[in-house]
């Protein structure tokens, strides 16, 4: 499991083939001496949806590991930020050369995001399989 990331989580909801797990995300709080007395805005609970055929094995309140490939974050970053940026950036240059009005060129370039996100939405089931996590029972000495 060299190329995996894992997070400790607590099962919040179990339904047929689906788990909703809460993970605590905090940054720079681990080594702080007053972390118990702080209401840091950086420490928040994040909900992760996991499709798992063996979801019936888990119950609400159970400690689990959320495990996924380390490439999941990079893929999500690419689909959500990098690719749309390049779509707008390239479209802006194309429309600026074709349309001499800067306002209409910029609006047309932003309009190119509409088909991009329609394509993403229509491929959401395929992407859900690519960008998915697995759930494992919690063990203190998990490596």
Report residue 129 as tokens: 């399989």
pLDDT value at 57 more than 90: no
Rg, the chain, Cα only:
21
Average pLDDT for residues 83-99, to the nearest whole number? 95
* Residue 35: pLDDT band with limits 50, 70, 90: low
Strand partners, 49: 20
Residue whose C-alpha is closest to residue 3's, from 81, 69, 63, 65: 69
Query: Residues 98-118: what's their mean pLDDT?
Result: 94
The length of the chain, given as a count of residues: 143
Please compute the mean of the pLDDT values over residues 63-87 and round it to a whole number: 89
Residue 45: which pLDDT band, with cuts at 50, 70 and 90? confident
**In which residue are the tokens 């479209």 written?**
91
The domains located in the chain, with CATH, are 4-25+44-137 (2.40.50.140)
**Cα dihedral sign for 109, 110, 115, 120?**
positive
**Within 10 A of 109 (CB to CB), how many other CB atoms are there?**
20
Q: How far apart are CA 61 and CA 130, in angstroms?
A: 27
CB 8 within 8 A of CB 138: yes
């Amino acid at each position: 499991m060299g190329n995996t990331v894992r997070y400790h989580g607590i099962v919040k909801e179990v339904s047929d083939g689906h788990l909703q797990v809460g993970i605590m995300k905090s940054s720079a709080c681990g080594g702080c001496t007053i972390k118990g007395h702080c209401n840091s805005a950086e420490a928040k609970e994040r909900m992760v949806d996991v499709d798992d055929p063996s979801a019936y094995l888990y119950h609400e309140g159970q400690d689990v590991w959320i495990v996924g490939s380390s490439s999941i974050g990079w893929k999500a970053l690419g689909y959500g930020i990098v690719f749309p940026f390049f779509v707008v950036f390239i479209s802006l240059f194309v429309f600026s050369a074709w349309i001499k009005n800067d306002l209409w060129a910029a609006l047309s370039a932003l309009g190119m995001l509409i088909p991009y996100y329609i394509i993403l939405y229509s491929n959401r089931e395929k992407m859900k399989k690519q960008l998915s996590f697995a759930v494992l029972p919690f063990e203190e000495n998990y490596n």
